[in-house]
Chains A and B, each alone.
Chain A
């Protein structure tokens, strides 16, 4: 039915099967939309946020998807600025994931602010002393950049590409993509950093507070570094999942190996600095504020020493080492374990820097404040996941997301398949004239 829209030289599942899966994830999406409408129409009383938790599950999800979406800006930086041309075979997918992650982040923020109709206030009545203002500015601009990077991919659809204007526009956008990629890297550096900076400047919360370089706390640099380090892990993880779902090899091993190696060195260098910084915080910064570090990891049912170990060792040192050792990196099982652990590590880091910060008692009369999200918060957090899966399914089916797919999966009787697709396209084009 839709074969005229499917890229040349590749095979896709039957339309009924595609629609069936689409409806499954569509149902989850609708559940999330229902919860979102509840939050908008009834208010934030639908959540379990309270005076302790002004930042809650949504902000963690926001920070996590922004970190995971960092694969887009870092891959773009590597390809367009540092000339790693092999990455052209995975950059489309990185851009798609970035687009999904950042649109999800903006969607979550639109729910979180409670009154989305006043979302423009942050641009017009900007508080120029707030790192979150910088985040809002850079996030919005970078989403525009990601949209610009995604548009040529849409225009390369087999039928759209036949329209001369779209073909020329797509070509011109590709030609100038380095400028957009550089702008995207600039914007990402600042908004990833400022998200970390938000935690680091909280002098009233010694669990989060960090020493500064000029006006920037160390967390500013660590957040940017970790997004660049772990973002590619997410790109590689999603590529692996897509390969498993489709049952096809979609990207050549040399491309995967290169991105995994770069990610590995970034993770390793990041985690060394992170460990040194954590030791300094534990032995100097926190005691200078009157706290022993054990205060942050004891006397509660959830946040024990295990979380520090899981973040630094399981989600940092282990994936970093696996990805920098060539023999381990080239072992598929080890590499997949490492990239999944990497995604886990950066998500856990964001959890700690958002939710554990809120949980730790600060005053002598305070107790640990643990929080459980309401079902509306959970549903609206799952909503972007369903949306992401749906957009990935549609993009994979109709757009040339993986340029090496046709070469890696040659069709038997490819010429006949193409002729059939062309015939279907011609029939489709002729229909309006005959109707």
Chain B
């Protein structure tokens, strides 16, 4: 649920629960975005193509 939804109430419960959820999802999303983006960049730079 987001604060823009009609069920949202600005109380401690909503802020703590949903704040924690979006905080965790934010870290996971940002981390994966960084990993995938850097992998695309590295691949374009020709890294990771030589294995023995």
Contact = CB atoms under 8 A, between A and B. Distances in A.
Interface of A: 123-126, 128-129, 133-134, 137-138, 141, 144-145, 148, 161-162, 164-165, 167-169, 171-173, 176, 179-180, 183, 186-187, 190
B28 A141 contact: yes
A126 B17 contact: yes
22 contacts: A124-B1, A126-B18, A128-B13, A128-B14, A133-B17, A134-B20, A137-B24, A141-B21, A141-B25, A148-B28, A148-B32, A164-B48, A164-B49, A165-B39, A165-B40, A168-B38, A168-B42, A168-B48, A171-B42, A172-B42, A176-B34, A179-B27
B13 A129 contact: yes
B30 to A, nearest CB: 9
Interface string B8-43: 000101101110110011011001101110111011
B4 to A, nearest CB: 13
Interface of B: 1, 5, 7, 11, 13-14, 16-18, 20-21, 24-25, 27-28, 31-32, 34-36, 38-40, 42-43, 46-49, 51
A340 to B, nearest CB: 34
A165 B43 contact: yes
Nearest to B24: A141
B32 A137 contact: no
Contacts of B11: 128
Contacts of B20: 134, 137, 190
A76 to B, nearest CB: 14
Given A172-B35, A173-B35, A176-B31, A164 B47 contact: yes
B31 A148 contact: yes
Contacts of A145: 28
A133 B18 CA distance: 10
Contacts of A133: 17
A316 B2 CA distance: 44
B9 to A, nearest CB: 9
Contacts of B47: 164, 168
A235 to B, nearest CB: 23
Contacts of A162: 51
A171 B48 contact: yes
Given A128-B13, A128-B14, A179 B31 contact: yes
Nearest to A172: B35
7 interchain residue pairs of minimum CB distance: A128-B13, A169-B39, A167-B48, A168-B39, A164-B48, A168-B42, A172-B35
B36 A169 contact: yes
B17 to A, nearest CB: 4
Nearest to A173: B35
Contacts of A164: 42-43, 46-49
A339 B16 CA distance: 37
Interface centre among A125, A176, A187 (most CB of B within 10 A): A176
Nearest to B2: A124
A138 to B, nearest CB: 8
Contacts of B46: 164
Nearest to B1: A124
Contacts of B39: 165, 168-169, 171-172
Contacts of B16: 128
A171 B5 CA distance: 40
A141 B31 CA distance: 13
A128 B31 contact: no
Nearest to B16: A128
A148 B27 CA distance: 12
Nearest to B32: A148
Contacts of A129: 13
A123 B17 CA distance: 10
B38 A172 contact: yes
Contacts of A134: 17, 20
A125 B14 CA distance: 11
Nearest to A144: B28
B28 A161 contact: no
A307 B20 CA distance: 38
Given A165-B43, A172-B38, A187 B27 contact: no
A70 to B, nearest CB: 18
B49 to A, nearest CB: 5
A386 to B, nearest CB: 29
Interface centre among B21, B24, B31 (most CB of A within 10 A): B24
